[in-house]
Chains A and B, each alone.
Chain A
Amino acid sequence: MEIFGIWLAAFLTLSIYSFLYRDNPFYRFAEYLFIGISVGYYIVIYIHQGFIPFAWEPFWAAVKPFWPGIPREAGWIGLIKLIPIALGLLFFGGLSPRHTWLIRYPSAVLVGFGSGISIPLMLQTFIFEQTRGTVEPFAAINAGTLSPWGIIEAVLMLIGVACTLTYFFFSVEHRGPVKWLSKVGIAFLMIGFGAAFGNTVMGRVALLIQRVDFLLNDWIGMIIGWLGTIF
């Protein structure tokens, strides 16, 4: 079984890599298999980690007190859990062309919740925290506790943040000093992107090495070992 697994993994790896040449039946086979398996996998995951704990169990807990023969322990307040379940069910309105408008309600709730949660978080992380991080080193400069290199870093950071912020002014025409500040800002952005590019490429090369290592050692190594036993 392990040998079959190695052969299958090697075949699928090569099928996916064959995309580098051009679209071909091997790539298509691997692509459809990958998509099919992933869809099936996620359906099972959603049933067990989504539907059962967040829809079926709360639904049952809400209606159980009203079931004949079961003592009413919870009461009406438990029925509040039916509201999100009903909202979720409205998504099925998309199945009927006449009722697609129904999905606007759960979508609006989702977008509203999402914005409500992410906007304060973004303000905290990307605005207030970053502003504080830019200003704070200057307290150390005043106290004389920052090294010369630290001072250069703090000043560079201030210039970088101020100029990059200028680049993202949309309702002001970029000419004169604004133009030059935003040009410096875009230069800072590009330096940052260059570093991120190099960092990520290194990570991807590591993944490639891992895959080539599998093909050379696990798969070809196994074939060579097998040929060795024959000859």
Chain B
Amino acid sequence: MIRKIKETLEKEDLSEKEFNAIALEIFEYQYNRNRFYKNFCIKKGITPGNIRNFKQIPPCPQRAFKYFELTAFETKKPEYVFVSSGTTEGLRSKRYVFYPEIYDNVIYKSFKKFFLPDMDKIKIFVFFTDFQEFKQSSLAYMYKRIFEKFGKKESAYFYKNGKYLFHEFLKKTKKEKEPVAILGTSISLYHLIQYLKENKIRIKLPEGSRILDTGGFKGLKVVVQQRDLYKSYSELLGVDEKFIVNEYGMCELISHYYDANLKFYFENKNTERIKLSLPFLKWRIVDPDTFEDKKEGVLIHYDLANFDACIAILTEDTGIKRGEGFVLKGRVQGFDLRGCSLISELNLKNSGL
């Protein structure tokens, strides 16, 4: 199975038929190797023998990763254990990574295709914790890998010991003559923008510079719209909006989506901001009650690289179909419901789950 996955992930193209066949094989593999997931599938009335299409695979709710060890290798020791940033009453999703080389390959291929299609290396400036300081973060891991693989010698981290190093960043970029890539979460880059605004600083990064941000704004005490933030990136850092890319991933998933605008730009296409990924990651937008395909609804991901956990993930994210991709609309806020909804949230942990 591992060899087969590795071969599949190397492919530039994957037909629907090929994808389907491997997806069903992985489903069977996971069904037989994870008792929790098996129980769930049985309750849903689905077993490996009675489905023919990968869309029928019961998608594992993202939330279940907070309560269960969802891995196809229950007895094997993982190389890494990543946890989600979002919590439900202190619980975080856990994602066990047994084959980091597969993860690395997915990171490299996606980043290259969607963020660096025009060059092999770039100066990378990261506004996030170094992986050494935060070994449970899949994002820190991803940045580390990107930094090492694609970063030029002068690349640097600008967040250390819990502090942003904005001043050092400005010193470094002042003399900059060649394009740079800024990587960070939307929140960390929001703080950068606030710093520039408060100090009335406006810089113009060299042409070809780009920004990759990720994540939402949960935890910020103010309401921020992504489009306003991107406008600020453009105005205060001098980066063309076509060169601003949002990456969408989650701890529970190995593969990632990227805004395709930069890729489209280099292909001389309309630089529409839609999310795309590599061929081994498919998605559906469905109605959460009926699971029928919809133009707007909740996202389900089918990731062949997730062979060691659950191939199908039912997210808490809403999206809208656009062209060959989708636009991420938002994440359902965990504790924002009206009515008597939260007694369960308080005590779910103690109820045997």
Partners in one complex: no
Interface residues of B (CB under 8 A from A): none
Interface residues of A (CB under 8 A from B): none
